Copies of this chain bind each other. A is one copy, B any other.
Amino acid sequence: MPAKRPNLGANGILEQMERDLAAIRRAQRRPIEEEMVRGGLTVPQTAVMQIAFQRDGISLKDLSREASLAHSTVSGIVDRLEAQGLVERRVDPADGRVSRIHATAVVARFVRDKIPELRRGPLGRALEKASPAERKKIAWALGRLRTLLEDVQSGA
């Protein structure tokens, strides 16, 4: 049963939202981390790999933008994926600055077979328990919150 949610002041709502976001983050991270032991992949690695597969030859800059991560973070993730032979870095012949990320042949099968089931991970399972109306409301709220945050970020 859910915890009590009394009427909160503006400050209380803020703190409650922060707590909820933290809890969401943790719950989302944990269950697939268990899978990692079996599959050898973490959540961010899976996400990066899927993007690299869908947009083969994507630059690291675009990849980091897609994943909402700093380029230095993605660089490290690609390092580890490369070490496992799941991804390749190739310098762009037309522009020596950009290194294009390519999914190796092994990945195609992996993405098609494993990812869908991983994708239907904690978030997917959680949403299955919600009604379509709830799903819509939650999806809207996340999109809206993201927009609000990004507007503040860019000084709007």
Contacts and interface: CB of A to CB of B under 8 A. Distances in A.
Interface of A: 2, 5, 11, 13-28, 30-31, 47, 67-69, 119-120, 122-127, 129-130, 134-135, 137-153
Q: Which of A21, A47, A151 gathers most chain B CB within 10 Å?
A: A21
Interface of A, secondary structure class, is helix
A138 B144 CA distance: 8
A66 to B, nearest CB: 8
Given A19-B68, A26-B69, 9 more contacts: A13-B139, A17-B138, A18-B123, A20-B142, A20-B143, A21-B28, A21-B142, A31-B153, A137-B137
B153 A68 contact: no
Given A5-B143, A143-B20, A149 B126 contact: yes
